[in-house]
Amino acid sequence: MIKAILVFNNHGKPRLTKFYYHYPEDMQQQIVRETFQLVSKRDDNVCNFLEGGSLIGGSDYKLIYRHYATLYFVFCVDSSESELGILDLIQVFVETLDKCFENVCELDLIFHVDKVHYILNELVMGGMVLETNMTEIISRIEDQNKLEKQEAGLSAAPARAVSAVKNINIPQQIKDIKLPDLPHIGSFKF
Amino acid sequence: MLRVEMKITRNLTGGMPTPMRLRDLIRQIRAARTAADERAVVQKECAYIRSTFREEDNTWRCRNVAKLLYIHMLGYPAHFGQLECLKLIASSRFTDKRIGYLGAMILLDERQDVHLLVTNSLKNDLNSQTQFVVGLALGALGSISSPEMSRDLAGEIERLLKSSNAYTRKKAALCAFRIIRKVPELMEMFIPATRSLLTEKNHGVLITGVILITEMCSRSPDTLQHFKKLVPNLVRILKNLIMAGYSPEHDVSGVSDPFLQVCLLCNILFFFEQVATNTETSKNVGNAILYETVLSIMDIKSESGLRVLGVNILGRFLLNTDKNIRYVALNTLLRTVNADYNAVQRHRNTIVECLKDPDVSLRRRAMELCFALINGNNIRTMTKELLTFLEKADPEFKSQCSSKLFITAEMYAPSKRWHMDTMIKVLTIAGNYVPDDVVGNLIQMISETTPLHAYTTQQLWNNLTGELATRQPLVQVANWCIGEFGDLLNSSDGADAEPANVSLFLCEKSFLFVLCLTGVYFFSVFYPLIYLFFFHIRRIKKLIDIYGGNINIEIQQRAVEFSALVTKHNHLRPSLLERMPAMESKNPSGSALQNGQATEDELLGDSTSKDGPHESLTSTSDSSMFLDLLGGTSDIQATSSEVIKPTAPLSVSSDLLDLLGGLDSSTQVAPSPGCDPCVPELIMDGLVTPEEQKQTIPSLTAFEKNGLKLDFSFEKPVDNPQMIIILLSATNQTPTPMTDFLFQAAVPKTFQLQLLPPSGNVIPPSTDKGVTQTIKVINPNKSQLRMRIRISYNISGSAVQEQTEVNTFPSVIWE
């Protein structure tokens, strides 16, 4: 069973936190910090498995992590999960994100946290692996997005008008163009 | 520009300014330079969101909740959003529901009261026509359901398990999984629906179905029987997966749906060889499958051929360049080494190579595995490798490694000398990380190996070079050895001894240096070295006197004791500084000294044989006085100016034999004159029944004369029927106190005697509270106990000595 899924950057800022076991909020933050400390110390050429920190359950739980560019994807699992299997799962998750966001980068995760959550909910449910087929997941996500857009159809007209007005803001557009090109997580190899 | 914006907004939305969009909020938060700035932005937004929630405005609720979730992820409290999530869930729009359920999963959990309110909405959504709405509801149920909720909604789940929609079915399966975890009684409900899950083509449904079945089988053996029939189906599925060739939808790096394969393998008993030979191992996914295969092989108790196959696969993993693979291989080998010892031995060399791996977790596992693999044949090579490893190991490994090395060396050492060499090397390399019990055990072991005393001491002396501060355990052991066998440093007796040609000057230098570090321990070294350098005793004394004023109380005390010993109590020195008899080994695998091997010689502190247990575990003064007592003093003192020879003069022992010889014969020896043993009537004998172990055994007045009364009271410990504990109580019935009270006892050969230290040596006058002392006697032959006792004390300035024999121990104590 997966106990928690954490995504944070090289400085420890959380980009996605999903706990499948109840922890109070401050404990959740502490766990993120502790996990960051454990994982950031690891050299790049050591194995991807760690024993869990004391806050998350100690040696009964393992931290399986992958480091992509500026982000750490950490899955905290118990002993019933296969370590190598979870490594593959992380790979599938990131590949799905890549397909959904087109060359996903950290900024995408920052600004679309809810969408990342929806994708994750298709992959893992209640701590158990639900679906591993990328095409399947992506098609479902797209269906649901279409549904949302349909609903937003008429009632979103005012909102759309306002956003159109706002988007006339030229300085803002210039700022948008000038956004720095962050390295994308497109090219993953083993 | 801003004013125009605001005007348009107000006109379009009827006065309420549009709440900030999520991405704008995120931008603002990221723009904050300091934590205080960030907090300000967040608090402002939270206040705004709270006010909008209060105003029950529907339009922007989902946006506000989205912002709230982001804020929550950053670590700020967001519980005020819980009710809003419920309202969103109840809304009819999919967008609202989506964010509502997400919020519920993040903010709610079983412990909140609001939790139960979701149940109704969940029920409605589970019956919805849109599969995604159902999917959302199932997702939420699968994450946060409580036992009550599970009970309420289990019926719906069961219905959905049979739905035709694969998407719904797989989610329902995982929901069922969670429900079974929360409320095990509901399991039966789901069994019929589960069978059909396995006939699905959809892999998602298959995976979840298999997970569900595994959970059911692990909970109840009946279901296991029920599902056993399905195993051939599972096998067929796996076979299709492997043989089917390339299928684009399920492909991960060239292997079709590794997850399903991994999943199925947890359940299947056959087809291992097929998988093993057909799976390509160059990619991680292939290895994942193989790994799961191996785990399955080890879990079920396969026949040996299969297990060897498993171990070989693991061995191949060890040669893999990917560190992850090596890690799991080492981990699994550790678990299986007990079962398949020989198979793992074949990969020993690879494991030894792993000791040098740059990754610390790999090294640790390799080390544990190496220790598990050591046996009598490979001990020398393995130890060499492990010693090299120890040199470079991290501190946390060093203590573990050194204590394990000690244990294995003791079990498999080819020769004692090799053992000593290895342990000295360990002490030198591991420095301060050697745990204390290793030091203790090592000292005890050295004291047992008599022929190697000289060799050991000389080796230790030679090794006392270099950084002594980092090698305290080595210093302690060396210290003890030199203290005991210092006289042998220059000798060439014993096996492989090399005279060390130690001179006092060298001694001084190194001892002074180490003295500063381990202070107390080192004083004990000096005592016997007096013999070695008797001529220089004044110099040594001057050295020690410096420490008489040391701040450390222990050092000061020892220094003063030493000076006192050298000056005032010269006559005691020889006996005090006798060699300690070899210690009993505590572990059964050692030379197994039994408690019952004492001879009367050892009883009297004769150091002829080194293999006897201590007569008295504590104050050496007792034993030395005893020597005086039995007339050996003069003989022993004659040898004071040279090395004490291990064999005490024979005349002494013959005296002792004579003294105690009488105890062995069946005839009673007349007690020496002056004694007046008072034999009590064993009136109570009849009242003590043999079956009662710990019942009152009558006490005995062993001696009574001139106001001094010695009472023995008895106690039998329940766990040791051969032992009797005698509590001696000495009382003084005269008006003057008795000082320097000393009690000694001797028993026949077949018994063992142990004198514990007395409560004191002054008996106050005319009270019943005198001195108490505990005596332990072991009687393996259950023969009648006879004891010769000698008492000495001072009263009103004059010394009194008495000797008597006590034969009237109640026989019930040996029943």
- Helices in B431-503 by DSSP H: which ranges? 436-448, 453-463, 472-485
Residues of A in contact with B138 (CB under 8 A): 125
Least Cα separation, residue B192 to chain A (angstroms): 21
Read off the pLDDT band of B165 (50, 70, 90): confident
Interface of B with A in 294-323 (CB under 8 A): 295, 322-323
* Residue A131: closest C-alpha in chain B: B204
* Residue B327: closest C-alpha in chain A: A47
CB B111 within 8 Å of CB B86: no
Smallest Cβ–Cβ distance between A126 and the set B21, B142, B359 belongs to B142
∠ at Cα B475 (B474, B476), nearest 5°? 90
Percent of chain B at pLDDT above 90? 0
Residues of A in contact with B292 (CB under 8 A): 82, 84-85
User: Which of the two residues, B554 and B642, has the higher pLDDT score?
Assistant: B554
Least Cα separation, residue A111 to chain B (angstroms): 6
B725-743 burial, b if ≥16 CB within 10 A, otherwise e? bbebbbbbeeeebbeebbb
**Is a pLDDT exceeding 80 seen at residue B682?**
no
Read off the pLDDT band of B497 (50, 70, 90): very low
Beta-carbon separation of B177 and A88 below 8 A: no
Beta-carbon separation of B208 and A165 below 8 A: no
- Write down the pTM of the prediction: 0.53
Highest mean pLDDT: which range of B379-388, B673-682, B715-724: B379-388
pLDDT at B765: 79
- Report yes or no: B142 at the A interface, CB cutoff 8 Å: yes
User: Which residue type sits at B138?
Assistant: L
Smallest Cβ–Cβ distance between A114 and the set B102, B110, B287 belongs to B102
DSSP code per residue over A95-131: HHHHHHHTS--HHHHHHTHHHHHHHHHHHEETTEE--
Q: At B778, is the secondary structure helix, strand, or coil?
A: strand
Beta-carbon separation of B66 and A131 below 8 A: no
CB B599 within 8 Å of CB B609: yes
Q: Cα–Cα distance between B471 and B482 in angstroms, integer?
A: 16
Residues of A in contact with B59 (CB under 8 A): 155
Residue-wise pLDDT tens digits, B193-232: 887 777 777 777 877 887 787 777 777 767 666 666 666 6
Beta-carbon separation of A128 and B292 below 8 A: no
Strand partners, B710: B703, B730
- Report yes or no: A41 at the B interface, CB cutoff 8 Å: no
**Is a pLDDT exceeding 70 seen at residue B488?**
no
pLDDT at B489: 60
Residue-wise pLDDT tens digits, B306-327: 677 778 888 888 888 788 888 8
Q: Cα–Cα distance between B180 and B217 in angstroms, integer?
A: 11
Instruction: Give me the half-sphere count of Cα atoms (radius 13 Å) on the Cβ side of residue B658.
Output: 7
**Is a pLDDT exceeding 60 seen at residue B130?**
yes
- Report yes or no: A44 at the B interface, CB cutoff 8 Å: no
Q: What is the 3-state secondary structure (H, E, C) of B258-302?
A: HHHHHHHHCCCCCCHHHHHHHCCCCCHHHHHHHHHHHHHHHHCCC
Beta-carbon separation of A140 and B167 below 8 A: yes
Q: At B2, is the secondary structure helix, strand, or coil?
A: helix
Beta-carbon separation of A131 and B204 below 8 A: yes
- Report yes or no: A165 at the B interface, CB cutoff 8 Å: yes
Beta-carbon separation of A130 and B284 below 8 A: no
| pLDDT (mean) for A55-74 | 88
User: In what helix (H) or strand (E) does residue B420 lie, and over which residues does it extend?
Assistant: helix B416-430
Least Cα separation, residue B211 to chain A (angstroms): 9
B589-619 burial, b if ≥16 CB within 10 A, otherwise e? eeeebeeeebebbbbbbbbeebebbbbbeee
- Report yes or no: A180 at the B interface, CB cutoff 8 Å: no
Quick count: other Cβ atoms within 10 Å of Cβ B809? 23
pLDDT at B702: 80
Least Cα separation, residue B300 to chain A (angstroms): 16
| pLDDT (mean) for B329-343 | 80
Least Cα separation, residue B204 to chain A (angstroms): 5
pLDDT at B152: 86
Q: Cα–Cα distance between B648 and B655 in angstroms, integer?
A: 12
| pLDDT (mean) for B736-749 | 84
Q: Give the C-alpha distances (Å, rounded to integers) separating B495 from B137, B414, B462, B478.
A: 83, 16, 17, 18
pLDDT at B161: 86
Smallest Cβ–Cβ distance between A85 and the set B170, B250, B259 belongs to B259
Percent of chain B at pLDDT above 70? 62
Residue-wise pLDDT tens digits, B149-162: 888 888 888 888 88
| pLDDT (mean) for B238-260 | 63
Read off the pLDDT band of B745 (50, 70, 90): confident
pLDDT at A142: 92
- Report yes or no: B143 at the A interface, CB cutoff 8 Å: yes
List all residues 6 or more positions away from B453 whose beta carbon is below 8 Å from its beta carbon: B446, B481, B484, B485, B488, B494
**Is a pLDDT exceeding 90 seen at residue B279?**
no
- Report yes or no: A153 at the B interface, CB cutoff 8 Å: no
Quick count: other Cβ atoms within 10 Å of Cβ A113? 22
| pLDDT (mean) for B674-693 | 37
DSSP B671: P
Residues of B in contact with A127 (CB under 8 A): 143
Strand partners, B705: B708
Residue-wise pLDDT tens digits, B532-574: 555 556 666 776 676 666 676 776 777 777 777 777 766 666 6
- Report yes or no: B107 at the A interface, CB cutoff 8 Å: no
Beta-carbon separation of A114 and B323 below 8 A: no
**Is a pLDDT exceeding 60 seen at residue B507?**
no
- Report yes or no: A123 at the B interface, CB cutoff 8 Å: no
Tokens of A9: 């950057």
Residue-wise pLDDT tens digits, A72-105: 999 999 887 888 888 889 999 999 999 998 888 8
DSSP B763: B
* Residue A172: closest C-alpha in chain B: B24
Give the number of beta-carbon pairs within 8 Å between A and B.
175
**Is a pLDDT exceeding 50 seen at residue A55?**
yes
Question: Which is nearest to B726 in space by CA: B671, B778, B762?
Answer: B778
**Is a pLDDT exceeding 80 seen at residue B348?**
yes
Q: Cα–Cα distance between B291 and B276 in angstroms, integer?
A: 10
- Report yes or no: A111 at the B interface, CB cutoff 8 Å: yes
Lowest-confidence range among A137-151, B232-246, B359-373, B450-464? Answer: B232-246
Residues of A in contact with B259 (CB under 8 A): 85, 88-89, 129, 132
pLDDT at B380: 83
Residue-wise pLDDT tens digits, A155-182: 555 655 665 666 566 666 667 676 666 7
Beta-carbon separation of A110 and B30 below 8 A: yes
DSSP code per residue over B553-612: HHHHHHHHHHHHHHHTTGGGHHHHTPPPPPPPPSSTTSS---TT---HHHHTT--S-TTS
pLDDT at B501: 42
Quick count: other Cβ atoms within 10 Å of Cβ B712? 24
- Report yes or no: B99 at the A interface, CB cutoff 8 Å: yes
* Residue A29: closest C-alpha in chain B: B75
User: In what helix (H) or strand (E) does residue B348 lie, and over which residues does it extend?
Assistant: helix B348-354
List all residues 6 or more positions away from A186 whose beta carbon is below 8 Å from its beta carbon: A98, A103, A104
| pLDDT (mean) for B471-480 | 72
**Is a pLDDT exceeding 90 seen at residue B82?**
no
Smallest Cβ–Cβ distance between A130 and the set B73, B93, B171 belongs to B171
- The beta-carbon contacts of B650-653 under 8 Å, at least 24 apart in sequence, are B652/B606, B653/B601, B653/B606, B653/B608
Smallest Cβ–Cβ distance between B284 and the set A125, A152, A190 belongs to A190
- Report yes or no: B171 at the A interface, CB cutoff 8 Å: yes
Least Cα separation, residue A174 to chain B (angstroms): 15
From the candidates B63, B134, B285, B324, which should be mutated to test the interface with A, based on the most A CB atoms within 10 A?
B324
**Is a pLDDT exceeding 60 seen at residue B587?**
no
User: Which of the two residues, B387 and B502, has the higher pLDDT score?
Assistant: B387
* Residue A17: closest C-alpha in chain B: B73
Task: Tell me the pLDDT of chain B averaged across its residues.
Answer: 70
Q: Give the C-alpha distances (Å, rounded to integers) separating B438 from A163, B367, B443.
A: 75, 19, 9
DSSP B145: -
pLDDT at B187: 82
Task: Tell me the pLDDT of chain A averaged across its residues.
Answer: 84
Instruction: Give me the half-sphere count of Cα atoms (radius 13 Å) on the Cβ side of residue B242.
Output: 22
Least Cα separation, residue B86 to chain A (angstroms): 17
Q: Cα–Cα distance between B267 and B202 in angstroms, integer?
A: 19
- Report yes or no: B10 at the A interface, CB cutoff 8 Å: no
Highest mean pLDDT: which range of B291-300, B473-482, B506-515, B707-716: B707-716
Strand partners, B715: B725
pLDDT at B302: 59
Quick count: other Cβ atoms within 10 Å of Cβ B423? 25
Q: Cα–Cα distance between A49 and A54 in angstroms, integer?
A: 16
Least Cα separation, residue A70 to chain B (angstroms): 16
Residues of B in contact with A101 (CB under 8 A): none
**Is a pLDDT exceeding 50 seen at residue B516?**
no
